[in-house]
Amino acid sequence: MANQASKIMIATSAGDWEGIQHRPHHFMKRAAKSNRTVIYVDPPVTLLGPLKNKNLLANWKRWLKGLVKVEENLFVLSPPPTLPFGSKYRFINKINQFFLSKSIKKELSTFNGEDLELYSFLPGSVDLIKHIPFNNVYYDCVDDHASFTGLINPKVIHTMEKELVEKADVCFATASQLIEDRKEWSTNFHLIPNGAEYEHFAVVQEEKLLLPSDMENIAKPIIGFYGGISDWINLDIIADAARKLTECSFVLLGPIDTDISQFKDLANVHFLGSKQYNRLPNYIQQFDICLISFKINKLTKSVNPIKMYEYLSSGKPVISTPLQEVLHYRDVIEIVTNSEELLNAISRIIDVKENFNSPEAIKKRQKVGKENSWDSRWEKVLSLIGGSK
């Protein structure tokens, strides 16, 4: 599997390559076109993982396949199962990272490149560094990791992240708050917000797309959302709006990892599951309004939602809760703080649709989407880490 690229970039991320397309996917696709061979490491599944979610058994099957080429110069490595509670106990993370390093080094032996880089999106990768001779280490902070709920110890996460930032050659963050909270750890931290593949979503305004079969019987107007449906999503205001706006349909796309029982009696709310990235424009074209409904807390204070740029690229009207990073675009996004304001915003857009769907309004939203492209974001990263465009 010899390769002519002079650099080999190992990327560690919390998202499966085959899952929802996030910043790691978009950046690593571009890294593979910048004189690099990229090995994208899927997040490992713990030995207890399939007990909670049987679908995770598929990840184990991918591990048995070894390294898989998905694009030119881009490979995906599904690591072997790991010990649980690595985010609670540092010694377990160290064990897991040691065995991960063995898997990575086995695959590295098939490549010619000797200039190794680590591009990590995970604090736990700090314990990988000592096992592999990386020439450069980059850390991309996309979330306030210590603020997540679940089986984590915030102090452990905080300590690992601090050590990783101190060891990294260059650090990036998606939101200004993330840098503000970490400014004492490094003088080489750079704000690189998220972005969108503008052309992928602009097609919503350019041509008639195939109507998804699971949208055929959903009545308009449609208020749509896509993304991970977890405990940081404000489902309460969506449920409240759905109860009062029975003439509207609410469509939520994405994996569900939280309690949605409050919707069981709401016939106008539809959870349609995860959708492939290349099919998202087909669904957005059916939306009359696009929704960003995050709770406001320490975790979301530093969220820079990718869906914001994608929605705007599609030209559709957008309603959002007051995320700090969204407020920068309040001239093209309707901001709401509670269910009453959400009701009013939806009603206003539906009632005066010609204003929100005028060519001028669509163009204004799409201009913001186009200005925030993944290509421009990656060019900024390259200027700081070096390499061909």
Contact present, 21 and 56 (Cβ < 8 Å): no
Q: Which residue has the tokens 């939306």?
A: 287
* Strand ranges across the sheet with 222-226: 269-273, 249-253, 222-226, 289-292, 318-320, 334-335
- Where are the chain's structural domains? 7-195+373-385, 198-371
pTM, entire model: 0.91
Burial class (CB in 10 A: 0-12, 13-18, 19+), 216: exposed
Task: Give the orientation angle of helix 359-371 with respect to helix 306-314, to 10 degrees.
Answer: 140
CA dist 379 and 259 (Å) reads 40
pLDDT given for residue 158 in this prediction? 97
CA dist 55 and 60 (Å) reads 10
The CATH architecture that domain 7-195+373-385 belongs to is 3-Layer(aba) Sandwich (3.40)
Q: Which residues of the chain form beta strands (DSSP E)?
A: 7-12, 36-41, 68-71, 74-77, 115-120, 136-141, 170-173, 189-191, 222-226, 249-253, 269-273, 289-292, 318-320, 334-335
pLDDT given for residue 32 in this prediction? 96
| Domains 7-195+373-385 and 198-371 agree in fold | yes
For 163-190, b/e burial (b = at least 16 CB within 10 A) is ebbebbbbbbbbbebbbebbeebbeebe
Q: Which two tokens stand for residue 353?
A: 């649709």
pLDDT given for residue 112 in this prediction? 78
pLDDT given for residue 139 in this prediction? 98
Return the number of other C-beta atoms located less than 10 Å from residue 60's C-beta.
Answer: 16
CA-based nearest residue to 225, from 216, 234, 213: 234
Written as tens digits, the pLDDT of the chain (389 aa) is 444 567 999 999 999 998 889 999 999 999 999 989 999 999 988 877 766 777 667 766 777 778 999 999 999 999 888 999 999 999 999 999 999 999 999 999 888 777 999 999 999 999 999 999 999 999 999 999 999 988 899 999 999 999 999 999 999 999 999 999 999 999 999 999 999 999 999 999 999 999 999 999 999 999 999 999 999 999 999 999 999 999 999 999 999 999 999 999 999 999 999 999 999 999 999 999 999 999 999 889 999 999 999 999 999 999 999 999 999 999 999 999 999 999 999 999 999 877 899 999 999 999 999 999 999 999 999 999 986 55
pLDDT given for residue 229 in this prediction? 97
**Amino acid occupying residue 320:** S
pLDDT given for residue 36 in this prediction? 94
Contact present, 45 and 56 (Cβ < 8 Å): yes
Contact present, 339 and 241 (Cβ < 8 Å): yes
CATH number belonging to domain 198-371: 3.40.50.2000
CA dist 145 and 123 (Å) reads 8
pLDDT given for residue 2 in this prediction? 44
pLDDT given for residue 1 in this prediction? 44
